[in-house]
Amino acid sequence: MPALIDIRDATVYRGHTRVFHRLSLRIERECHTAILGPNGAGKSTLLKLLCREIYQVQDAGSSVSILGEETWNVWELRAHLGILSSDLQQGYIGNAVGMNVILSGLYSSIDVWDYQEFTKADRSRAENIMRRLGVHHLRTRCFAEMSTGEQRRFLLGRALINNPRTLVLDEPTSGLDLKACFQYLDLLRRLMRRGTSVVLVTHHIHEIPPEVTRVVLLKKGRVVADGKKEDVMTGETLSALFGTRIHLVRSNGYYQALPGRKQV
């Protein structure tokens, strides 16, 4: 099976900032992967590379291949990957109504437009997804008039309408209250158990579902650790990653970071 993404020696700029210098990283679809790192580490940039929102510098010997292909029609690619990010939430059209937010996933667009066609089956799938996510009562509400958590759920629904084999999540629980966060984690875990592979980038350690088996630590655009979750997720490695003393607690397969004891 081709890797979800296979990055070889890629250099990537955002504006004048060089985020990655000759980065190599391969993420398989067979396991669920979390990419952890502090602010500015390059996590969202990595996902933008995966979704073809940005490209690497065309150096000899460098390549970025996604699902085995280096060239993609971006709309087709984005339909393969269910994408959920705060950038999408911020950029989404405010007067799109709930139902249309879900349907827009079929065209990877940020509202629905007259030229787009939706079948009866598409609409009924969207209805089902809204029911599963507990937002069916908001189907006619404008996106701008929803709470952050409600918007997140609609965007998750938008990602799910294509039945993607891979979900690509950028800090998915930020802005969710505890109940919404737990409901979201439950749903995500069900999808993972049914075979949807997940790539999660975050600095929120508590949002890593127990099913994640591989963890990649990213700092200043470089992979500083990569391996089995149990090996990588230690107080020591995370303290070094975030540059602060962290006491790591594990419970029910989840992790939580607490402030470490102060050195005096």
Residues numbered 159 to 218 that lie near ligand ATP (CB under 6 A) are 203
- Write down the least CB distance from residue 46 to Mg ion, Å: 9
CB of 1 to Mg ion, least distance (A): 28
Nearer to ligand ATP, 101 or 217 (CB): 217
The residue among 14 and 123 lying less far from ligand ATP, judged by its C-beta, is 14
**x/- contact string, 21-40, with ligand ATP (CB under 6 A)?**
----------------x-xx
147 binds, among Mg ion, ligand ATP, none (CB under 5 to 8 A by kind): none
Do 132 and 156 touch, CB atoms closer than 8 A?
no
Tell me the helices (H) and strands (E) count for the chain, helix number first.
Answer: 9, 11
Q: Choose the one of Mg ion, ligand ATP, none that binds residue 37, judging by a C-beta under 5 to 8 angstroms depending on kind.
A: ligand ATP
Please spell the DSSP secondary structure of 203-251, one letter per residue: S-GGG--TT--EEEEEETTEEEEEEEHHHH--HHHHHHHHTS-EEEEEE
61 interacts with, out of ligand ATP, Mg ion, none, CB within 5 to 8 A per kind: none
Type and span of the H or E element at 49: helix 43-50
Residue type for position 261: R
Closest CA to 187 of 173, 175, 201: 173
Which has the closest alpha carbon to 223: 201, 245, 204?
201
Give 35 or 167: the residue with its C-beta nearer to ligand ATP: 35
* Structure-token pair, residue 199: 């790539």
- Candidate residues 4, 6, 12, 42; the one interacting with ligand ATP per rule CB under 6 A: 42
* Side-chain-facing half-sphere of 130: CA atoms under 13 Å: 21
Residue at token pair 């690509």: 168
Determine the angle formed by the axes of helices 148-160 and 178-193, rounding to 10 degrees. 10
- With CB under 6 A as the contact rule, which of the stretches 10-18, 94-102, 191-199, 206-214 interacts with ligand ATP? 10-18
43 counts as binding ligand ATP under rule CB under 6 A: yes
Residue placing its CB nearer to Mg ion in the complex, 44 or 109 = 44
Which of residues 19, 77, 83, 241 is near ligand ATP by CB under 6 A? 19
Nearest approach in angstroms of CB 17 to ligand ATP is 4
Positions touching Mg ion (CB under 5 A) are 43-44
